[in-house]
A and B are shown apart, each in its own frame.
Chain A
Amino acid sequence: MAGRDGLRVRILGRLDACDGDAEIDLGGRRQRAVLAVLILARGEIVPAERIADCLWGTDLPGNVSGAVQSYVSHLRRRLQPDGAPRSRRGIIASAGSGYAVRLPPDAVDAWWFERLVRDAGTASTAGEPQRAAELLTEALELWRGPALSEYPGEPWAEAEIARLTELRAVARERLLAARLDRGEAALLVPELEALVADEPLREERWRLLVLALYRAHRQADALAALRRARNLLSAELGIDPGPALRALEAEVLAQSPALSPALSPALSPALSPVRSAVPSPAPPPASAPASAPPGAPAAAAVPPDLVDRDDELGTIRTAVADLAAGASQLLLIEGPPGVGKTRLLAEARRLAAEHDLTVLGARGSQLERTFGFGAVRQLFEPTLVDAERRERLLTGAAASARGVFDVLDEPAEGSFAVLHGLYWLAAGLASERPLVLAIDDLQWCDTASLRFVVYLSRRLDGLPLLLLATLRTGERHEDDDLLAEVLLDPSTAVVRPGPLTREGTAELVRRRLGEPAPLFLTACHTTTAGNPLLLRQLLRALEADRVRPDAAHADRVMACGSRAVASMVLTRLRRLPDEATAVAGAVAVLGERADLPSIAEMSGLDEVTTAAALADLARAEILRDEEPVGFVHPLVRDAVYRAVPSAERALAHERAGRLVRLRGGSAEQVGAHLLLAPSRGDAASVEVLSAAARTAAARGASESAVTYLRRALAEPAEGRARLDVLCELGLLETLVDGPAGLEHLGAAYELATEPADRAELAVAIAWTHVFTSSPGIASAFAQDAAAALPDDLVDARQGLVALQRISGFMHGLDPARWQAGPEPVVQGDGDGARMLAATLAWEVACAGADRDRSVELARFALADDRLFEVDSGLFWVVAANARMVADDDLGDFWERARAQAHARGSLFTALSVNLWQGLWQWRRGELADAVACFEAMLEQERMWGGSGTGRSYALAFLVGAHVDRGDLDAARATAELALAEQPGGEGGRLVRHAVARLRLADGDWAGALALVDAAGDSVLGGANPAWNRQRALRAAALAGLGRRPEAVEVQQEEVALLRRWGAPSFLGTGLRRLGEITGGAGLEHLREAVAVLAPTTAELEKARAEHALGRSPDVPDEEAVPLLRSAVARARDCGAQQVFADACAALAERGHAVEGACDLPAPVSVTVRRILDLAGTGLGVHEVAQRLFLTPGTVRAALEHAQVAAQA
C-alpha cells in the first residue's frame, strides 16, 4: 500500500478514506455508497443511472442525475478539499453521463491486495516460499473485517464481496501452504485445524492439514483427518473427495517421498517474524517477541489472549520441556468454572505439538459420563485408526485393552486386566515418541476412565508421558474419591489459575473494545471478579452493542455484567430469533459432536434454517465457531440446558434417543439419552439399555453397565426381561457396590422360579454376603437356601453348604451354628463338591490333627484349577492356605493363579493372589518379595473398595515381614495403621498377634502378653499352632518377663500340638523356640529343630535355628562355625537384618570373621533376579516389564542398579 501521503481508500472492512493520517469524512451512507460503487468498478466508467440503481433500486428520486451529481460533487470536495473545483475532478472523473475513479493501484486496499496475492503466486512458482509468505502476510494484513462491511447483501456489492472473500480464503490457504513448504509443519497443525473448522468444505484446507500432520510425523492423525474429510464431504455434499485428496491419501499410505517439503527445515530462515505477523483465527499462533532468543521459537511467547498466566504457563512449559527430555509427570489444572483451564490445556497441547510430541486429547462431558471408557476411547482411538498400527499397539500386555476399543463377545470380569492393557497401550505409544495425554474436565470422565487415570498416575515413573488434566473445583462430583486419589497424590503437580488482575482485565478489554476508561475497567473487573469466561461473555455482549469503553458506559457494564453467566447467555439467546433458541436447546440435549441433520430434526426446523441459526449462535458466542458443534463452555451449555423445563428436557432426550437409534448410533449413545428420558415400561428401551450395559461390561466398565441396567429396571422391565436385568445388574454390582448387588440379586432370587436359576443366584448372593454383609447373614442365607433346594441339585447344595461354613469361620460365628451335625461328605466332583472340599480341608487343618486328610481334601479342591473358573478368590485360596499350613508343596500354583487374575482381569483375584502368595514367600524367607506382594495387595484393595477383611490380613503379614527384615520402624508404622482400623474376626486376631511379635522384638514383654490376651482364640480354637501362634507368643512374653517355668510349659504344649500336626517347618520353629526358652537344657530341641527344618523351604527359620544352636556356648566351634556361616548366608539371602547381624556377631565371638561387610547388602529380590534373567535372554526393557507385570521404570532401575553393582 502506498505511503502515508496521498489518498487511500479502503474497502476491506468498513469503507473509509484517508489523506495521509487524517481520516476523511465521506458523508452519509448513500454518498459513501457512490464511492464504493466506483471503486468496485475499478476505474471503469459507471453510468449515473447505474449508480442511481445501486443507491435507490426501484424507488428512484425524481431528479436522478442531479442527485447522483450532488453526491459526486460532495465526495470530490471531501476527497480533495484543497483543490480548485476543476482539479477536484481528478479523483472522480466525469465521462459522459457517468463517472469513474482515477486512483493509482496502491491507493485502494482491495486492488493492492489482489496485486500482492498475484505476486505471491509468482514467488511461489519461482520456489521462493519465504517471499511468498511475506507477500501473503502483507496482503492479509490489509483486511480489517468483512469487505464493505456496511453493505452486506446490497445487490451491487454482493458479487464483489463474495469474490474478495474467496480471494482472501485462497490467500490464507496459500500462506499456510508457503509456510508448510518452509518446514513449519508441526506449528501449522493448530492453525490448519482452525482453518478447516472455518470452512470445512474447502478441500484444499484438508489437503494442507493432512500434509502438515504427515510432515509432523503424525501419520495416523493424517489418515484420521482424511477420513474426517471424507465423512464430512459425504455427509454434507454427498460427494467423494476430489482427486487431490484422493491422491494424497494414496501417497500418505505409501509414505511417498513426494510428501516431503521442498526445503529442508534446517535451511529455512528464522520462523518467528512471519509467524507473528500472520492474522489467524483461534487458536492464535504465538507471537514471538523480537527479543526471543534464536533457536527457542515461541518458547517464551505468551499467546495474546492468555493474560495473567505467566506462572501457569511457566509450569506447563517446564513440564512439556521435561517430557521432551523423557521425564514423566501428572499435571493438574484446577480451578472454578470459567477461569481458563481449558485454554491452558490447549496451550499445553500447542506447546507439545511444537516439540513434536504426540498429543492425545479427551474431554469429559456430563451426557457421556456413562460411556464406559469413553474418555479413554477419545484419547486412543485416533491412534488406532490404521489397522496395522492398531495390531502393533494392541499386542502383548496391551492386548487385554482390546475390549475397550472393539466390542468382544467375552465380557471382561473386572477392570484390572483392562487397566493393565491400557497402561501398556500408553507405554507403547510413549516408547515411540514422548506422549501427552490431555484430558479436559476430568471430573466428568466416566468412572472406568478415571480408574485408568489413577492406575496410570501411579505408574508414570519411567514412561515419557505427561498426563495433563483439568479439574473443576467448587462443586461435588460423582467420583470425588477417585479424583481425590489423583489430586492428593504427592507427585501430582497442580496449577491453579487465579482470577484476572485489574491489569489483565484491562488488557482483554483493550483488545476487544479499545482502551477502557478507569471507571469502565473497574466495572468490568468488579462484575466479573476476574473470571475470564464471564469477562469474555460480557465483552461479547458489549461488543455486539458497539459499546464504547468510556466512563459513561460503565453503567452498561454493570447492567450486563452483574448477571450470572447462565443469565448472560440466556439474555443473549432471548435477543436471537426463536429458531436459535430451539437449535441451542437441541444441541444442549444432543450433546457434543451432533450433526446438522440431527440438530435440524431435533429442533423441528429445516436444515438451511438450522444452519443459519447455528451461525447466529456462533456469532453470539454461545456455540463454538468450529466443528464439531458444541458450546463455547460447559457452563453455557448448562445454562441453555437448564433453561428448558425438566419435563420437556426428558421428552427431548427421548426424541434424541430415537433419533440416534435411527441414525445407527450405538446402544451406549442411545442409552445415554434414555437415562434422561421418562420411564414408559417400553420393552425396546429395556433392550437397548441392556445392550448398552453389555457393551460397557464387555469393555470392563462395570459402573457404566450398572447405570444402564438400573435405568432399564426403572423403565420398568417386566417379566423375564426383569429377571434378566436383575441378575445382570446384581452380578455386576457385586463388583462395584456389594449391598446394591445383594438387593437386586435378592429380588431376582424372589422372582426366579427355575430351581437351577435359583441355585445359581443363591450361590452368588451367599458369596456376596460373605464379603459385604454383617457376620451371620451369609451363613444363615446359605443354610436356608441350601435347605430350599430340591434334592436333585446336589452339587449346588454342596456349594451353599461350603459358603455357609466358610463364612461361619470367617465371621467368627459360634461353630455350634454352622458346624453342627455330622460332617458333610463330599459327593461327586462338581464345583460345589470342590468348594465343600476346600472348606473341609481348612476345618481339618484348624483341628490340627489329620494333616493327610486335610491335604487330600485341599488337593482335590484345587485339582485341574477348576475353581479358578467359578470363584474369583475364596475357596481356592482357602484350600491353598490349608496346603501351606501343611507344608504341602504348591509348586507353581501361585504363578498360575496370578496368570489367571491377569487373564480374567479380576482385581479381586489379583489382590487375593498377592496376599496369599506373599504369605507363601514370607514363609520361604523371600522377605522383599513378600513385602512387595503385601503392598501391592493393599493398593489393589483400596482400588477394589472391599470390606477390608483382606486388608487386616495383609497388614498383619506385612508387620511380620518387616519384623523379620529387621525394619522395626516400618513394622511399627504398619502396626499403628493396622491397629487404628480396629479389625475384628480372624484378621483382627492376626493383627494383634503380629503386633505382639513386634512388641517382643522391642522388648515390651507385658505389652505383647496383653495383646495376645486381647486377641483371643481363633474360631476353630488354637488346636493348630501352624495357623494360631498364640502359645509361642505367650511363651516368649512370659520368658521375657522372667516367668520361665510357665513359658516352658506353654511352649512344650505348642510343640506337642505341632508334633501331632506334623508339618515340619512349623514344628522346627516350635522346637527352636522351646530350645531358646529352656536355655542350657534346650540344646537337644535346637538340634532337632535344625534337623526337622533341613528338608523344608523355610529358609529364614533354618537360619534362626542354625544361629540359635551355633551361638550356644555348649556347642563346640567345629559344629558351631559352619552352622553360623550357614545362618549368615541364609539370613543375607532372605534380607533378614537382625538374624544376619546376630549370626555375624556370634561368629565374631568365636573369632571368625564374616567375609565382606557385616552390613546386610540390599537384598536381591526374586523379582530382580527374574528381571536380570529375562534381560539376560536378550529381551528389552518393555518385554521384560510386560512379562513380569512391572513398569518399565522398575525394570530399567533394576537393570541400572545391577550394572552399577557389577562395576563396583
Chain B
Amino acid sequence: MTVPPPPASAQARAETLRGLCGGAVHLPGDPGYDLARAPWNVQAATFPAAVAYPAFADEVAEVLRAAAAAGLAVAPQGTGHGAAPLQGRLGHAVLLRTGAFGELSIDEDRRIARVGAGVLWGDLVDAAGTVGLAGLHPSSPDVGVVGYSIGGGIGWYARRLGLQCNTMTAAEVVLADGTFVRATADSDAELFWGLRGSGMPLGVVTALEFQLYPVDSVVAGFLAWDWTRIERVLPSWAAWCAEAPDEATTSFRVLHVPPVPAVPPELRGRRLVVVDGAVLGPDGRAAEILAPLRALAPEFDTMARVPAAALARLHLEPEGPSPGYASSALLTGLPDAAVAAVLETAGPGSGNRLTVAELRQLGGALGRPDPDGGALASLDGQFLVLGLGLEDDPATWPGMREDAARMLAALVPWTTEREYLPMLDDPTDPRKAYPPEVYARLAALRRAVDPAGLFVGQHG
C-alpha cells in the first residue's frame, strides 16, 4: 500500500516542532521516523507531518500549541491498533504518540488501576494478576489500555460486567488549548461522560483510572472442531447462547490457523471452528454451563481453571505489529436463516479467505444500559459479526475485504441500526454508533472542548 509522504508545505511547518519533547520528535527523513510512524496495524500506512512522543502533560500541551501554531492537526495515538481509518488523513497532522506515559499502579484496597496512556493490556493484566485482580481486557495483550477503554471495550467478562469504558473512574486529559483536566463523575462530568465510549478525540488522554475486579482465576479456554463440523456446531452454539447465563462470554470463530510457530504445532495451518470464552464462577457451575457444548465432542478442549492473567492471551492472536483488517456488524440475533447465511458465506465451500470469521456473543450486561455509564452505556444487539484478515501478504488483502463484505451483506436482514466503531477499519459515519440524542450531545461536547477542530478523529 503506497501512500504519498506528507506534502512539502506540511513538512516545512512541522519543522517548528523539532526539539520539543526533549528531542523525541521525528520528522520525515529522520532516522526514527519510519519506526515512529508505524502503527500496530501495519496495513495502515500513515505518513504524518511529524511524530511526537511527549512524556508529560506539559509536553503534550507544548506539542498541541506548536501544532496549532503551525496549522497542523493532531492525532493522538497509543499503539495504533485502530489506525486503519486514519490512512491517508495525516499528511497535515502531527501524530502524537503516548507511548512514554508508562505509569502503572494498582490500588489493591480500592481495586483501582491507574495507567498511563502508554500501558498495554498485557502489562496491566500481569500487574493486576499478581494481586489477584483483573480488568475487563480485550483478547490481545498488545492493545493499549487507554484507546481500548475510551472506545468501549468488549472483553471476556463483558456479559457479566459490561463494557470496559464504564469501569472508568477518572481520566486525565490535555485539551486542545493545552489545559490539563482531571475528569471524573464529579468534576468535568460531561467530558468524563464523553470519554467513556465515544472514541472521539476530545483531548489527549494521558492517564486513566478504572475499576478492577477480584477475579483470581476463571474457567477459560477453547473447544475446537475441524471446520467440517460447522453445520452441527454453529446452530448448537447459537441455541446455547440463547440460554447461557451472564457468567459466560464466548465467541464462535471460523479460524484459518496460520502456519506460524506461535500456535501449537497440531493446530498450525488447519481450518477449525472454535468456541472460546470464559466462565466466571466455581468449577462445578462452569462445567454445568459448558456441558452442552462439550456434548458436541470437540477435538480440542482446553477449558479449565486458569489464572485470570492468562486470559489476555486466550485468543492466540499475533503479538507485535501485524497487518489487520476488521469489519463488523451488530446482529439482533442468530435465527436459523442467519446461521445458514453464515454457513453459506464463511463455511466450507464458501471460498471465504478471511483469517477469522467470528461471531461474538453479546447481551447480558452489555445490553443493559449502565445508569451511571458514559456515552456508550450499552451495546445494541445479541451478536457481533466480525470478519478479520490477518495476513502478511498484501496481495491477499483485497480478497479478505471482499469476503468480509460478502459475509456482512448476507447478514443485513439481522443487522441492527448501530455500529461498534472499534471493530471497523473502514471509515464510518460515527452517527451510526449512537442514538441521535447521544450523538448530538457528543458533537456539542466536541465543539466545546476543541472548537478549532485540532484533533483528527478516527471516524469522521
Contact = CB atoms under 8 A, between A and B. Distances in A.
Contacts of B31: 526, 529
B22 A563 contact: yes
Given A522-B35, A560-B100, A562-B32, A29 B130 contact: yes
Which of A523, A553, A554, A562 has its CB near the most chain B CB atoms (within 10 A)? Answer: A562
Interface stretch (A3-11, A263-271, A565-573): A565-573
Interface string A1153-1170: 000000000000000000
Which of A522, A523, A529, A552 has its CB near the most chain B CB atoms (within 10 A)? Answer: A552
A138 interface: no
A566 B21 CA distance: 11
B166 to A, nearest CB: 26
Given A558-B36, A559-B55, A563-B21, A28 B102 contact: no
Given A558-B99, A567-B23, A28 B216 contact: yes
B40 to A, nearest CB: 8
B36 A519 contact: no
A564 interface: yes
A27 B123 CA distance: 18
A552 B142 contact: yes
Given A28-B130, A29-B131, A559-B97, A552 B141 contact: yes
Contact of B102 (A523, A547, A558): A547
B35 A523 contact: yes
A562 B24 contact: yes
A559 B118 contact: yes
A459 interface: no
Which of A551, A555, A558, A568 has its CB near the most chain B CB atoms (within 10 A)? Answer: A555
Interface in B106-140: 108, 118, 120, 122-123, 130-132
Interface string B191-226: 000000000000000000000000010000000000
Contacts of A553: 120
A559 B132 contact: no
Interface residues of B, number: 37
A517 interface: yes
B79 interface: yes
A563 B55 CA distance: 10
Interface in A539-586: 545-548, 550-556, 558-560, 562-564, 566-568, 570-571, 574
B433 to A, nearest CB: 27
Nearest to A547: B102
Contacts of B457: none
Contacts of A527: 32
Interface in B1-46: 21-26, 31-32, 35-36, 40
Nearest to A575: B103
A25 B131 contact: no
A305 to B, nearest CB: 25
A550 B23 contact: no
Given A523-B35, A526-B31, A545 B319 contact: no
A559 B40 CA distance: 14
Interface residues of A, number: 36
A70 to B, nearest CB: 12
A556 B102 contact: yes
A31 to B, nearest CB: 8
B261 to A, nearest CB: 13
Contacts of B141: 552
Contacts of B36: 558, 562
B307 interface: yes
A551 B320 contact: yes
A568 B22 contact: yes
Contact of A552 (B55, B122, B216): B122
Contacts of A562: 21, 23-26, 32, 36, 53
B367 to A, nearest CB: 32
Contacts of A150: 130
A559 B22 contact: no
A574 B31 CA distance: 27
A558 B22 contact: no
Contacts of A560: 55, 99-100, 102
B35 A554 contact: yes
Interface in B287-307: 307
Nearest to B19: A564
Which of B31, B32, B307 has its CB near the most chain A CB atoms (within 10 A)? Answer: B32
A160 to B, nearest CB: 22
A25 B307 contact: yes
A183 to B, nearest CB: 47
Interface string B58-97: 0000000000000000000001100000000000000001
Interface string A15-28: 00000000001011
A68 to B, nearest CB: 16
A29 B22 CA distance: 39
A558 B320 contact: no
Contact of A559 (B23, B24, B80, B123): B24
Which of B23, B24, B80 has its CB near the most chain A CB atoms (within 10 A)? Answer: B24
A213 B80 CA distance: 58
A573 to B, nearest CB: 12
A552 B120 contact: yes
B104 interface: yes
B320 A519 contact: yes
B265 to A, nearest CB: 20
Interface string B160-191: 00000000000000000000000000000000
A645 to B, nearest CB: 16
B453 interface: no
A552 B102 CA distance: 13
Contacts of A568: 22
A526 B35 contact: yes
Contacts of B100: 556, 559-560, 571
Given A529-B31, A562-B32, A562-B36, A552 B131 contact: no
A575 B108 CA distance: 22
Nearest to B309: A25
Contacts of B132: 27-30
Given A558-B32, A564-B22, A571 B55 contact: yes
A566 B142 CA distance: 30
B56 interface: yes
A555 B79 CA distance: 7
B430 interface: no
Given A550-B319, A550-B320, A562-B32, A556 B99 contact: yes
B348 interface: no
B256 to A, nearest CB: 22
Contacts of A554: 35, 320-321
A552 B99 CA distance: 11
Nearest to B127: A546
A574 B108 CA distance: 25
Nearest to B78: A555
Nearest to A545: B102
Contacts of A548: 122-123
Contacts of A519: 320-321
B68 to A, nearest CB: 22
A1023 B97 CA distance: 88
A571 B25 CA distance: 15
A559 B319 contact: no
Interface of B: 21-26, 31-32, 35-36, 40, 53, 55-56, 79-80, 97-100, 102, 104, 108, 118, 120, 122-123, 130-132, 141-142, 216, 307, 319-321
Given A551-B321, A556-B102, A559-B24, 8 more contacts: A29-B130, A548-B122, A548-B123, A552-B320, A556-B100, A559-B102, A563-B53, A563-B55
27 contacts: A28-B130, A28-B131, A150-B130, A519-B320, A526-B31, A527-B32, A545-B102, A546-B123, A551-B321, A552-B141, A552-B320, A552-B321, A555-B97, A555-B99, A556-B118, A558-B36, A559-B99, A559-B102, A560-B102, A562-B36, A563-B21, A563-B53, A564-B22, A564-B23, A567-B22, A571-B55, A574-B56
List of 5 A-B pairs having minimum Cβ-Cβ separation, nearest first: A567-B22, A551-B320, A559-B99, A28-B132, A562-B24
